[in-house]
Amino acid sequence: MSALALYAAIVSLLTPSAATAHAVAGDRIFPSTMAVDDPGVGDEANLEYGHVRVPGDNGDQSINTFSFEYDKLVTSRLAVSVDGVYVMQNNPTARGWDNFGVGVKYLLYVSERHEFMTSVGVHAELGGTGSKAIASSFSTISPTIYMGKGLGDLPDSLAYLRPIAVTAEAAPALTTGAGQPNAFNYGFTLQYSLPYLQQHVRDIGLRGPFANLVPIVEVPLSRSQGQTTGTIDPGVIWINRYGQFGVEAQIPINSASGSRVGILVQAHIFFDDLLPTSLGKPLF
């Protein structure tokens, strides 16, 4: 391979493109979901508040969480992340930071025509980095696969189904602590994009905030030691070019998953669109 050809190949891999900003496949924008991660990579920041009630040794336990995640593009397809969760719980009363996490995620494939994308990544929760009252002393490592598929390639006879999209993720959670159980975490989302309906199917006259809404149901699940836990999370996301807000209920699937309906609230910023030539620019 000539030096010029090698240079061109490297530039094509490292140059940012609109098609890979956050989670875009053709006409489809996959929003940044709250409980099941989307398949895209991007320069972005996520803040979430959560409230749940779960079974404890002395009865129900109320848990409030305040979490953050920051993702930074290394190239247009490769991102690194850092995240943390501040936890406030009662019965028994405790508060503090859970273990901090780091991750890497690579966008493997995008089909613009079929509105499909898939990514792979690894996330590590670093044992001993959080409060002793909240966090575990051992680490958890989770290799993960992410997928997303929009239905924009359906025929005209099914045009009103085109705004539908499905995303999914699957990840074994492997612990480093002796005798600590591993888990298998997985989940999926079902979404109906009103922006997609308005712009790519038919303008039905929605205005104001309604034209930017994505009704969604997320189903995050986990299986460990023969027990499956999880929630069904119906909600809505308001999205525009620079960020999004979301709110979801969390409905436990069984008594081991919780005793009452919880809530998730999200604020998310797309730095790759808000500050594309500075903070949101890939490192390479």
SS3 195: helix
Buried b (16+ CB within 10 A) or exposed e, 67-104: bebbbbbebbbbbbbebbbbbebeeeeeeebbbbbebe
Q: Which of 72, 35, 1 is nearest to 246 (CA)?
A: 35
What are 109-113's contacts with CB under 8 Å, separation 24+?
110/19, 110/20, 110/25, 111/25, 111/26, 112/19, 112/25, 112/26, 113/26, 113/153
> What are the residue ranges spanned by the domains of the chain?
19-274
Give domain 19-274's CATH number out of 2.40.160.40, 3.40.50.2020, 1.10.10.60, 3.30.300.30: 2.40.160.40
Q: Which of 26, 30, 7, 21 is nearest to 193 (CA)?
A: 30
pLDDT band at 18 (very low <50, low <70, confident <90, very high): very low
pLDDT band at 1 (very low <50, low <70, confident <90, very high): very low
Rounded-to-integer distance, Cα 162 and Cα 156, Å:
9
Question: Per-residue pLDDT tens for 243-263?
Answer: 999 999 999 999 999 989 999
Question: Per-residue pLDDT tens for 196-230?
Answer: 999 999 999 999 899 999 999 999 999 999 999 99
> What does the pLDDT read at residue 22?
74
Across the chain, where does the E strand assignment appear?
A: 24-25, 28-29, 44-56, 59-73, 78-89, 94-97, 101-111, 116-125, 140-150, 164-175, 183-192, 213-224, 227-239, 243-252, 262-270
> What does the pLDDT read at residue 83?
98
pLDDT > 50? residue 17: no
Question: Per-residue pLDDT tens for 134-177?
Answer: 999 999 999 999 999 999 999 999 999 999 999 999 999 999 99
Q: Let me know how long the chain is.
A: 284
Give the burial class of 134: count Cβ atoms within 10 A of its Cβ; 0-12 exposed, 13-18 middle, 19 or more buried.
Answer: middle
> What does the pLDDT read at residue 56?
74
pTM over cut 0.85: yes
Strand partners, 223: 184, 228
